[in-house]
Amino acid sequence: MELENRFFEAPAGSFFLFGPRGTGKTTWLRQAFPQGLLLDLLEPDLARELAARPERLRDVVEAARTDLPVIIDEVQRIPELLHLVHALMEENKRRRFILTGSSARKLRRGGVNLLAGRAVVRTMHPFMAAELREFRLVAALAHGLLPLVVTAADPKDVLRAYASLYLDEEVRFEGWTRNIGAFARFLETISFSQASVLNVANVARECQIERKTVAGYIEILEDLLLSFRLPVFTRRAKRGTIQHPKFYFFDAGVYRSLRPAGPLDRPEEIEGAVLEGLVAQHLRAWIAYRNADVELFFWRTHSGVEVDFVLYGPAGFWALDVKNTTRVRPEDLSGLKAFGEDYPKAERGLLYRGTRRELRDGIWIVPIEQFLKRLDPHGRIAFSIPH
């Protein structure tokens, strides 16, 4: 795949840039600010020096040009630096800081609020299909769209090492869990919850870990930006809806690398979760790059009627279902029909693996590859082709 420019746009002032490892934060920053002062805290010597003497940051910053940004990469490694960054921003309001992180845990507990709102928060996501000159759905389903993987000579090897990277460098380094074996067992078990309603008690029982511990492990995944939970859409609900969220890994390839597969696993079950996860990560990126003028939900009633994704906000109101099939049956539209009865203002679309675009009973049936290629944060979600 040849790379296009990223949709991410930098705010005018200082900002935090969060995103999992491998999403291309550092690469983007080097291209966007080639002359900026870059301090990479993954460099052991620099990290040791600033951890021992955080005040050294002042000497380095004051020696740099005022008109160029100061970039502190992986700032969560030394949260104490945020105290000094805040002071430097107050002393010189023209100085611009860009602070990146692949974990929000330490910063949330002891740092981000210290900047008193002077730095906005943005996120970097895996590639969107429209950011690539050549997008192939089959390849994206096999390996995901993490830039670190997409640009690798052997994507499978990189994916296999990705979970180990986080286990060794993040979880163990930060001392978030004493039992790394239990966490690894949890990772395998939670992979079965991909694109499903999350039941923490069931996960705890399956991996033989206390429920409270599992809840803590899920928080670690979210703090590492490796997973997210999707809430239920309940605005002016006419039917009783469930309360539990759905669970997703942030990238379809990372999910596939963690999900065990064997003779007892149905391939279509895994493929369906991969496909739905791929759409979920695109919608999250689309929302993030628009600066959150819409929120993402799912919808499910107590009777089991479900719509995979609901987008709601000032930007619009959409309901989307994802089907891993090349032929759409009438029963595949039942969830969207029920949603349309309750919310007639919503634009509805079903994404599938076929090639023909149709309109049935007010519901657009759209090839998923075409939909993803046209999903651009600068425009609205459109099921029909503009004339």
Phi/psi at 246 (5° precision): -95, 155
If pLDDT is split at 50, 70 and 90, which confidence band does 3 have? Answer: very low
Residue 386 has pLDDT above 90, yes or no: no
Could you tell me the pLDDT band of residue 241, with boundaries at 50, 70 and 90? confident
Q: What is the CATH number of domain 15-123?
A: 3.40.50.300
Task: Output the pLDDT for position 245.
Answer: 96
How much is the average pLDDT of 274-293?
94
Q: How many CB atoms lie within 10 A of CB 91?
A: 10
Report whether pLDDT(300) > 80. yes
Distance between alpha carbon 114 and the CA centroid of its chain, in Å?
A: 25
Antiparallel, parallel or unpaired: β 363-367 and 358-360:
antiparallel
pLDDT at 175: 63
Mean pLDDT of the 93-111 span:
80
In this model, does residue 52 exceed pLDDT 90?
yes
Give the CA dihedral 183, 185, 190, 192, nearest 10 degrees: 170
pLDDT-based confidence at residue 96 (cuts at 50, 70, 90): very high
Say if residue 115's pLDDT is above 70.
Answer: no
Average pLDDT over residues 14-24: 92
Terminal CA-to-CA distance of the chain, rounded, Å?
A: 29
**Largest Cα–Cα distance in the chain?**
68
360's CB contacts (< 8 A; 6+ apart) are 328, 333
The confidence score (pLDDT) of residue 179 equals: 74
Distance CA 130, CA 98 (A): 26
Centre a 10 Å sphere on the Cβ of residue 9 and count the other Cβ atoms it contains. Answer: 11
Among 95-109, 149-163, 201-215, the minimum mean pLDDT is found in: 95-109
- pLDDT at site 198: 95
The pLDDT assigned to 113 comes to: 55
Q: What is the rounded CA–CA span in Å between residue 324 and residue 351? A: 8
What would the mean pLDDT of 66-92 be, rounded to a whole number?
90
For position 295, what pLDDT does the model report? Answer: 96
pLDDT tens, position by position, 68-77 = 999 999 998 8
Provide the CA 99 distance to its chain's centre, in angstroms: 18
The secondary structure of the chain in percent helix, strand, coil, rounded to multiples of 5, reads 45, 20, 40
Alpha carbon distance 37, 41 (integer Å): 13
What confidence category does residue 350 fall into, taking pLDDT thresholds of 50, 70 and 90?
Answer: very high
- Token pair for residue 270? 């895994």
In the chain, % of residues over pLDDT 90? 68
pLDDT of residue 279: 98
Whether 10 has a pLDDT exceeding 50, the answer reads: yes
Phi, psi of 358 (to 5 degrees): -135, 165
Distance CA 223, CA 221 (A): 6
Output phi, psi for 295, to 5 deg.
Answer: -120, 155
Residue-level pLDDT at 112: 52
Region 229-246: what's the mean pLDDT? 89
Q: What is the pTM of this model?
A: 0.93
Per-residue pLDDT, 2: 45
Q: Give me the pLDDT at residue 277, please.
A: 98
Residues with Cβ within 8 Å of 243's Cβ and at least 6 positions away in sequence, in order, are 232
Model confidence pLDDT, tens digit, residues 139-176 = 999 999 999 999 999 999 999 888 777 766 677 666 66
Work out the average pLDDT over 231-257.
91
SS3 47: helix
Q: Where in the chain is the domain with CATH 3.40.50.300?
A: 15-123
